[in-house]
A and B are shown apart, each in its own frame.
Chain A
């Protein structure tokens, strides 16, 4: 067991360091290349090579405005350049400037030789038409397989002992969102969305010290009103959401949540974004789950370190209260309150752009949580008496997202985590460790 843990520790280090190493070097080269291309663009006047090179550099650096102004010059010089025309329409579409995107697509269809680009033009035109109608939708279907290995403390005839288990489990989900543009200066919109997810899960969700494989279905439906408040702060937005969620963990537990969430976001600079939220959920209609109310709150930040590299950080807290089916003192005290926090960080990096524009992104991260939860293990004893238990857990992960087609993404990744439960007044201290490898496909329809 010790040997296994040492190799896992080395793996953890690799997981943490690899994205950082991969992320570092290309950024500097990209920036120099961008400035070289700009110098050429303003010195080698009218050179098509110089213009095209700067367009590619600017797009890949995320400098859409510079790419657009250069493409406009290409089109002014040669209005019959259908390749530049389509690129122009596409980037205007990316920044939600649908009128200009439509105008350029219209001209593309009047350009000699457009037939060779018919499929591409039609696909883009359909997207622009939908966006101009004020309704947008995105639907995704995902499916995959997760191999997970779990080591956990279980209660045996001879007392607590470690038990290993593993499983190769499938998962799948369907999600969608419909967005209605309210045509206001501040980009207000309403979103209607939902998600259903199936997981063949592995673990001990009921803390009864028995290793389980079980079917889990989760779902969520929500409506969000998103309002910009740019007259207060340019980039300030507030999102108000009402939602309903269900979580069916086989016959073990059924959790229903009805809640409301308020979130504000702001971009202090073009490279950064901050969020803060507060969320209240009522869980009183759940079965075999005894938290009745949950209040969560937190902040999150994201910073673009360089083109194609983003750093994310978050810190969340929770406060829950409910009523246990068993008393905490064998007699009369059934109510409980728990609280805790979770923090996390990750680095995401655009690892590769294929020759046809498809992308490969990877992300490495870590998260940690510490708090108090109801000790469900205490409720299954013969002489049941409720107890709270301290939970401390952490996880590292490294995920890859490869765009295999315009509408298809291949995800794969590895993860490792540990969790400890201590200081229960009724049951024994226990810990678990898990690691896994997962992979799946996501199809997007929009």
Chain B
């Protein structure tokens, strides 16, 4: 039943998104803090987000938009985001998502589309493609009087591609940033911690302790080295398939239990 519903939804999302832009929600604002606006009205928790919507946070505002492909846009101070395109086929977990960010700070978490299709964020200075990862995007729109501002995109996980004019650079190392004023593109190491998107411990009240995620293998205190991921997160047991040693070697029989840490598979299976 669940599967049937999803296939129907797949068709619906694809068709509506492509054919008639505004008709159907492509995501939900699951959390908003003072304040995020759309068309002059505040967007509250649970509000549907449609194609073409422009959302703007003020200097203290933040919000979380979860799209149907599980992509998430976390809006930070002064973020202005527009949903330009969203095409998603859940049965193939593929499609296209294109956001436009014209100001402020946001963090984009790639969903299913980013792992198989095209997930793109456009700013006045950079075209950013996110592949199965997480990227912080900061846009300074400039003053309009000769200062064109700049965009800084910082990889937090996975892969990002930055394009300015004819130049494209691919970044796979978290913490590295693309910086552009729209004319040039440079890659630097960002020594900032992304602190503006890390809520301080004392802010907002609430109660301590709370979540226990021991059942989530790789989020627990017992997480092993097999949980490390360099592609935005797909831990899986590795296979001993290097086949480096001759067969029949006594105690080394039965798979490669003498595997060498030089190989990724050995990291995964041995430690």
Contacting pair B233 A62 (CB below 8 A): yes
In whole angstroms, what is the CA distance A436 to B248 when docked?
11
Interface of B is mostly: loop
Residues of chain B lying within 8 A (CB to CB) of residue A71: 211
User: Is A310 part of the binding interface, using a Cβ–Cβ cutoff of 8 Å?
Assistant: yes
Pick the 7 closest A-B CB pairs, nearest first: A357-B220, A64-B233, A312-B239, A415-B254, A78-B206, A201-B250, A230-B170
In whole angstroms, what is the CA distance A195 to B244 when docked?
15
Contacting pair B254 A414 (CB below 8 A): yes
User: Is A234 part of the binding interface, using a Cβ–Cβ cutoff of 8 Å?
Assistant: yes
In whole angstroms, what is the CA distance A350 to B238 when docked?
10
User: Is A285 part of the binding interface, using a Cβ–Cβ cutoff of 8 Å?
Assistant: no
In chain A, positions 309-341 with a C-beta closer than 8 Å to chain B are 309-314, 316
CB pairs A–B below 8 angstroms (18 shown)? A55-B211, A65-B111, A67-B216, A76-B31, A83-B212, A87-B216, A90-B223, A99-B190, A203-B249, A230-B159, A267-B231, A270-B116, A296-B244, A302-B238, A353-B217, A399-B257, A406-B224, A432-B248
In whole angstroms, what is the CA distance A186 to B206 when docked?
40
Per-residue contact bits, chain A 362-393, to B (CB 8 Å; 1 contact, 0 not): 01010101000000000000000000000001
Given contacts A45-B46, A73-B64, A99-B193, contact A356 B210 (CB under 8 A): no
In whole angstroms, what is the CA distance A81 to B201 when docked?
8
Per-residue contact bits, chain B 206-229, to A (CB 8 Å; 1 contact, 0 not): 111111111111111111111111
Min CB distance A321 to B, Å, is 17
- Residue in A91, A173, A312 whose beta carbon sits within 8 Å of that of B258 in the complex: A173
Given contacts A94-B229, A310-B239, A399-B254, contact A99 B172 (CB under 8 A): no
Interface size class of A (residues with CB under 8 A): 35 or more
In whole angstroms, what is the CA distance A138 to B267 when docked?
9
- Residue in B109, B114, B209 whose beta carbon sits within 8 Å of that of A82 in the complex: B209
Residues of chain A lying within 8 A (CB to CB) of residue B223: 90, 94, 357, 406
Contacting pair B173 A314 (CB below 8 A): no
User: Is A430 part of the binding interface, using a Cβ–Cβ cutoff of 8 Å?
Assistant: no
Residues of chain A lying within 8 A (CB to CB) of residue B146: none
Per-residue contact bits, chain A 240-264, to B (CB 8 Å; 1 contact, 0 not): 0100000000000000000000000
In chain B, positions 1-47 with a C-beta closer than 8 Å to chain A are 2-3, 6, 28, 30-31, 33, 45-46
- Residue in A56, A267, A347, A350 whose beta carbon sits within 8 Å of that of B215 in the complex: A56
Task: Kindly report which residue of chain A lies nearest to residue B133, judged by CB atoms.
Answer: A65
User: Is B195 part of the binding interface, using a Cβ–Cβ cutoff of 8 Å?
Assistant: yes
Number of interface residues of B (CB under 8 A): 116
In chain B, positions 58-115 with a C-beta closer than 8 Å to chain A are 62, 64, 66, 70, 72, 74, 107, 109-111, 114-115
Residues of chain B lying within 8 A (CB to CB) of residue A367: 243, 247
In whole angstroms, what is the CA distance A314 to B244 when docked?
10
User: Is A422 part of the binding interface, using a Cβ–Cβ cutoff of 8 Å?
Assistant: no
In whole angstroms, what is the CA distance A442 to B269 when docked?
11
In chain A, positions 61-82 with a C-beta closer than 8 Å to chain B are 62-82
User: Is A278 part of the binding interface, using a Cβ–Cβ cutoff of 8 Å?
Assistant: no
Min CB distance B187 to A, Å, is 5
- Residue in B70, B215, B242, B248 whose beta carbon sits within 8 Å of that of A63 in the complex: B70
Question: Known contacts A79-B200, A311-B239, A413-B255; can you find 18 more A-B pairs with CB under 8 A?
Answer: A60-B215, A60-B216, A77-B204, A80-B208, A84-B210, A91-B233, A99-B193, A169-B250, A230-B170, A231-B170, A234-B170, A300-B242, A342-B243, A353-B215, A414-B254, A415-B253, A434-B253, A446-B225
Residues of chain A lying within 8 A (CB to CB) of residue B2: 32, 35-36
User: Is A140 part of the binding interface, using a Cβ–Cβ cutoff of 8 Å?
Assistant: yes
Contacting pair B201 A79 (CB below 8 A): yes
Per-residue contact bits, chain A 85-101, to B (CB 8 Å; 1 contact, 0 not): 10100111011111110
User: Is A288 part of the binding interface, using a Cβ–Cβ cutoff of 8 Å?
Assistant: no
Contacting pair A348 B28 (CB below 8 A): no
In chain A, positions 28-53 with a C-beta closer than 8 Å to chain B are 32, 35-36, 38, 41-42, 45-46, 48, 52
Per-residue contact bits, chain B 237-271, to A (CB 8 Å; 1 contact, 0 not): 11111111011111111110110111001010111
In whole angstroms, what is the CA distance A177 to B219 when docked?
24
Given contacts A69-B66, A311-B239, contact A419 B247 (CB under 8 A): yes
Min CB distance B169 to A, Å, is 7
User: Is B125 part of the binding interface, using a Cβ–Cβ cutoff of 8 Å?
Assistant: no
Contacting pair B173 A187 (CB below 8 A): yes
User: Is A395 part of the binding interface, using a Cβ–Cβ cutoff of 8 Å?
Assistant: yes
Interface hub of B28, B209, B216 (most chain A Cβ within 10 A):
B216
Contacting pair A113 B255 (CB below 8 A): no
Interface hub of A36, A296, A310, A414 (most chain B Cβ within 10 A):
A310
Task: Kindly report which residue of chain A lies nearest to residue B177, judged by CB atoms.
Answer: A185
Given contacts A64-B233, A193-B262, contact A270 B251 (CB under 8 A): no
Residues of chain B lying within 8 A (CB to CB) of residue A125: none
Interface hub of B172, B190, B204, B251 (most chain A Cβ within 10 A):
B251
Given contacts A35-B6, A359-B226, A442-B270, contact A234 B254 (CB under 8 A): no
Interface hub of A81, A195, A234 (most chain B Cβ within 10 A):
A234
Min CB distance B88 to A, Å, is 13
User: Is A218 part of the binding interface, using a Cβ–Cβ cutoff of 8 Å?
Assistant: yes
